[in-house]
C-alpha cells in the first residue's frame, strides 16, 4: 500500500472556489440591498472630498491591477524579455495594494450608497463591484490550492482584472469623463 494519499480531483476544488466567490458576491449584493444606506460620507482620508478619494483610490487600484497583469505575463513568460528575479514579489505586493486600496471605496459604496439600480450604469457598477470581491475570493482560493489545472489561475486573475476595469469604468471612469477630468486631490 502506498503511503501517499491519492490527490483529490481538481474539478470539485475549482467548483468550491467558484462557489465561495459567488457566495461572497451574493452576500455583498444582498447586504448592499437590504441595509439602509447611511447616505453619509464618513471619511475622506487625506483627500479633498469623499468623491475625490473614491475616484483617486479606484484609479490607483486599477493601476496596481495593470501591474498585476503585466507582472503575471512576465512570470508566465508571455513578454519578450525574461522575468527579473523580483517580479514575483512585485506581483504579490501589487495585488495586495490593489485590494487594500479598493476597500475604502467599497465601504463607501456599500455603506453609504448601498446596492443601487437607478440606471443601467449604476446597476452595472453595483453588480461589477460585488462580483469583483467574489472573484478576489475565488482567485485567492485558487492561489492557495495545489494540483489545479495550470489555466485556473490565469483565468481567475484575468476575470478579476476585467471586473476591476468594469467597476472602475462605471464609476471613476464615468466621473472623469463626465466632469472633464480628475477631481482635486
The full set of domain ranges for the chain reads 26-35+51-176
Per-residue pLDDT of the chain (185 residues; tens, 9 = 90+): 444 445 678 899 999 999 999 999 999 999 999 988 887 767 788 888 888 999 999 999 999 999 999 999 999 999 999 999 999 999 999 999 999 999 999 999 988 889 999 999 999 999 999 999 999 999 999 999 999 999 999 999 999 999 999 999 999 999 999 999 999 98
What's the pTM value of the predicted model, to 2 decimals? 0.91
Residue position matching grid coordinates 447586504: 31
Amino acid at each position: 500500500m502506498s503511503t501517499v494519499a491519492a490527490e483529490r480531483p481538481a474539478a470539485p476544488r475549482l467548483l468550491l472556489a467558484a462557489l465561495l466567490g459567488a457566495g461572497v458576491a451574493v452576500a455583498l449584493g444582498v447586504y448592499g440591498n437590504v441595509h439602509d444606506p447611511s447616505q453619509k460620507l464618513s471619511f475622506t482620508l487625506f483627500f479633498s472630498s469623499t468623491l475625490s478619494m473614491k475616484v483617486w483610490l479606484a484609479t490607483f487600484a486599477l493601476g496596481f491591477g495593470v501591474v498585476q497583469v503585466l507582472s503575471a505575463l512576465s512570470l508566465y513568460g508571455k513578454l519578450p524579455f525574461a522575468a527579473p528575479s523580483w517580479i514575483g514579489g512585485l506581483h504579490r505586493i501589487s495585488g495586495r495594494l490593489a485590494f487594500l486600496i479598493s476597500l475604502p471605496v467599497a465601504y463607501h459604496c456599500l455603506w453609504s450608497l448601498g446596492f443601487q439600480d437607478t440606471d443601467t450604469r449604476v446597476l452595472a457598477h453595483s453588480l461589477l463591484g460585488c462580483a469583483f470581491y467574489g472573484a478576489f475570493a475565488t482567485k485567492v482560493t485558487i492561489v492557495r490550492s495545489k494540483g489545479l489545472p495550470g489555466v485556473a489561475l490565469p483565468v481567475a486573475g484575468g476575470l478579476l482584472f476585467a471586473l476591476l476595469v468594469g467597476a472602475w469604468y462605471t464609476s471613476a471612469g464615468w466621473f472623469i469623463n463626465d466632469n472633464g477630468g480628475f477631481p482635486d486631490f
